[in-house]
Amino acid sequence: MTPRRFGICIDANDPARVAEFWAAVLGRETETSGEEIRLLPRADDDLRIRFVPTDAPKTLANPHHLHLTSSLADDQQRTVDRLIGLGASHVDVGQRPDEDHIVLGDPEGNELCVIPAGNSWLEGTAFLGEVAADGSRETGIFWSAALGWPLVWDQDGETAVATPSGSAKVAWGGPPPVPRGPRDRFRFDLIAPEDTGPAAEIRRLVELGARVVAETYGDGRWARMTDPDAHEFELLAPR
């Protein structure tokens, strides 16, 4: 099966500001399409990231967040200082004193972790090394099949997949689920390959365990769907 591309969609009260922050953090260019702003990938399997407007305030921790890696011992603090200079702030999510990652929030409070050097799990990944996701083993199995990316971890209810090049991982932490509001601000995108059409791809995902919320076929969006844990995602046309 042709591997699919994976993307992230983040609701923002000020998409331009949040996109500007992440573009500076990741060293990417931006592209505006209608009301959304995209970070352009630099490599074929870079994680696609886009920001869309919302009037709703952020009231809960996101079910998913990003992990930034460090290569050298001093990189973690340098990254933290740089991100704070760009508009990030420290966030308390209940991390323990013995945990060595540093939790920040972007300009609208979207959580991210800066991981210290020497983390064996993220060894060999890029600076944006991981999407840490809330979700059951069933959801991890679903996304592995949906993306065509094999599992690189499946133990004690936790699962993970890696991009085809190994540049980043997406990991699901297993139970218990985090509290959620009526709509997640941080959601996933699945970008279809060139050799498939909307009906066939929607049918394939439903057979794997997804549910259709709405078929759209507008502006490159084929469908809004949910995974087995009812996290909403969008199926996007090839791009």
Mean pLDDT of 105-123: 97
- At 100, the pLDDT band (50, 70, 90 cuts) reads very high
Q: Which token pair is 17?
A: 């500001």
pTM assigned to the model: 0.95
Tell me whether the omega of the peptide bond preceding residue 179 falls within 30 degrees of 0, making it cis: no
Q: Assign 19 to helix, strand or coil.
A: helix
Quick check: 171 pLDDT over 80? Answer: yes
Q: How confident is the model at residue 137 (pLDDT cuts 50, 70, 90)?
A: very high
Q: What is the maximum alpha-carbon separation in the chain? A: 50
Element holding 140 (H helix, E strand): helix 137-147
| Residue-range domain boundaries for the chain | 5-236
Nearest to 129 by CA among 12, 26, 41, 38: 26
Residue whose structure tokens are 């090049």: 165
pLDDT value at 163 more than 90: yes
Q: Would the CA dihedral through 20, 6, 224, 178 be positive or negative? A: negative
pLDDT in tens, 76-98: 999 999 999 999 999 988 777 77
Average pLDDT estimate for 5-19? 98
- Choose the CATH number for 5-236 among 3.10.180.10, 2.120.10.90, 3.90.550.10, 3.40.50.300: 3.10.180.10
**pLDDT for 187 beyond 80:** yes
Residue 49 banded pLDDT, cuts 50, 70, 90: very high
What is the distance between the alpha carbons of residues 189 and 5, in angstroms, rounded to a whole number? 8
Mean pLDDT for 18-33 is: 97
Q: What is the structure's pLDDT at 97?
A: 78
Mean pLDDT of 175-182: 90
Task: Write down the residue that tokens 């259709």 correspond to.
Answer: 212
pLDDT at residue 218 in the model: 78
CA gap 149, 145 in Å, rounded: 7
Q: Is residue 196 within 8 Å of 39, Cβ to Cβ?
A: no
